[in-house]
Amino acid sequence: MFKRMSALLLVGATVMTMAGCGSGGTTSASQPGSGGGDDKITMGFSQVGAESGWRTANTKSVQESAKTAGIELKFSDAQQKQENQIKAIRSFIQQKVDVIAFSPVVESGWDTVLKEAKNAKIPVILTDRAVDSADTSLYKTFLGSDFVEEGRKAGKWLVEEYKDSTETVNIVELQGTTGSAPANDRKAGFAEVIGADAKFKVIASQTGDFTRAKGKEVMEAFLKSNPDIDVLYAHNDDMGLGAIEAIEGAGKVPGKDIKIITVDAVKDGMQALADGKINYIVECSPLLGPQLMDLAKKVVAGEQVPTRVVTEETTFTQEQAKQALPTRQY
């Protein structure tokens, strides 16, 4: 708990200390409330969807912190569809909100709509997920995790776990939403680390769209076509939890017959880790709301902000999960 709080404080401090020397500077300041006629900042927020426990906790964090910060939030749920996010952003532009924040479902295809926001002089903040636009002037900052590093942490645990073995380790991978930053980066970071030792073999890798239902379905297919799976690497807890049902359904013991690594550390994932069904979780914090509201206020006031704000995160073993669970916030 203390570790988590101090990590969040640390990130907050980084934002504060870097605010004066950020390189991605704002040049034109739009006045708070320019669209609404009062001083209250209006934020248009386009959320990815409600696909996972992480997402639910993230939505709650954004909504609660907007209230605390006195920011009026126009919230829109895109149900994992890019076209819905583009529509929502266009509608925010029409409504002349003061700032747009969004969590892009996939990385590519944003330039046109982001240029429209820029032309309307509405600053954009990326939260949680990145875009691959070459023109970084299309957004002010990106607040979120280092997903490549998360993938590396998952790989490092595996390398350590099998350090005394010379036999082949057969791995199956449940990827997040195709084309999303966390799916691309968690795959890349993991591959980079395990790639150093030829005994690690990814024998199947497919998307489970970050949902429990899809995680279960794809794991069932993996189990049917691969009798000899040693390890499952799932890009989030929810897919891992769905896969556990598939593994148990196939008469195998999750955490023993098949070792499981996931990412997020939401409560249900942490419970499965404490129960021995998952072996290791790489944390990814959804509590981005307070930092997002701080950044929004600065950006609307025309202050400079760092172009990248990275969330600090930890990892959990089964023992650590038992200790952390009673005070886990999400």
Closer to ligand GYE by CB, 54 or 139: give it. 54
Q: Is 128 in the site for ligand GYE (CB under 6 A)?
A: yes
Shortest distance, position 116 Cβ to ligand GYE, whole Å: 24
How far is C-alpha 6 from the geometric centre of its chain's CA atoms?
A: 20
Q: Is 129 in the site for ligand GYE (CB under 6 A)?
A: yes
Q: Is 207 in the site for ligand GYE (CB under 6 A)?
A: no
**Cα 176–Cα 63–Cα 56 angle in degrees, nearest 5:** 30
Q: Is 212 in the site for ligand GYE (CB under 6 A)?
A: no
Closer to ligand GYE by CB, 130 or 193: give it. 130
Per-position DSSP letters for 31-51, written without gaps between them: PTTTTTSSS--EEEEEE--S-
Shortest distance, position 187 Cβ to ligand GYE, whole Å: 13
Q: Is 139 in the site for ligand GYE (CB under 6 A)?
A: no
Shortest distance, position 80 Cβ to ligand GYE, whole Å: 9
Closer to ligand GYE by CB, 100 or 265: give it. 265
Work out the widest C-alpha separation in the chain, in whole angstroms: 69
CA atoms of 235 and 255, how far apart (whole Å): 16
Residue type, 115: K
Residue type, 51: E
Q: Is 141 in the site for ligand GYE (CB under 6 A)?
A: no
Closer to ligand GYE by CB, 30 or 52: give it. 52
Q: Is 236 in the site for ligand GYE (CB under 6 A)?
A: yes
Closer to ligand GYE by CB, 54 or 316: give it. 54
From the list 324, 282, 300, the residue with the least C-alpha distance to 124 is: 300
Q: Which of the ranges 47-55, 85-93, 274-282, 303-311 carries the binding residues for ligand GYE, by CB under 6 A? A: 47-55
Over the window 54 to 73, marking each residue x when it contacts ligand GYE by CB under 6 A and - when it does not, the resulting string is xx------------------
Q: Which of the ranges 46-54, 192-200, 302-310, 315-323 carries the binding residues for ligand GYE, by CB under 6 A? A: 46-54
CA atoms of 65 and 71, how far apart (whole Å): 8
Token pair recorded at residue 118: 């820029």
Q: Which of the ranges 6-14, 48-56, 292-300, 316-324 carries the binding residues for ligand GYE, by CB under 6 A? A: 48-56
Is residue 88 within 8 Å of 74, Cβ to Cβ? Answer: no
Q: 86-94 long-range contacts, Cβ below 8 Å, gap at least 24?
A: 86/113, 88/44, 88/46, 89/44, 89/46, 89/113, 89/116, 89/117, 90/116, 91/44, 92/44, 92/46, 92/117, 92/122, 93/117, 93/120, 93/122
Q: Which of the ranges 29-37, 50-58, 89-97, 303-311 carries the binding residues for ligand GYE, by CB under 6 A? A: 50-58
Over the window 257 to 296, marking each residue x when it contacts ligand GYE by CB under 6 A and - when it does not, the resulting string is ------xx-------------------x------------
Site for ligand GYE in 88-127 (CB under 6 A): none
Q: Is 185 in the site for ligand GYE (CB under 6 A)?
A: no
Phi, psi dihedral angles at 143 (to 5 degrees): -105, 120
Strand order of the β-sheet with 200-207 is 200-207, 169-175, 231-234, 259-264, 280-283, 315-316
The site for ligand GYE (CB under 6 A) is made up of 51-52, 54-55, 128-129, 182, 210, 236, 238, 263-264, 284
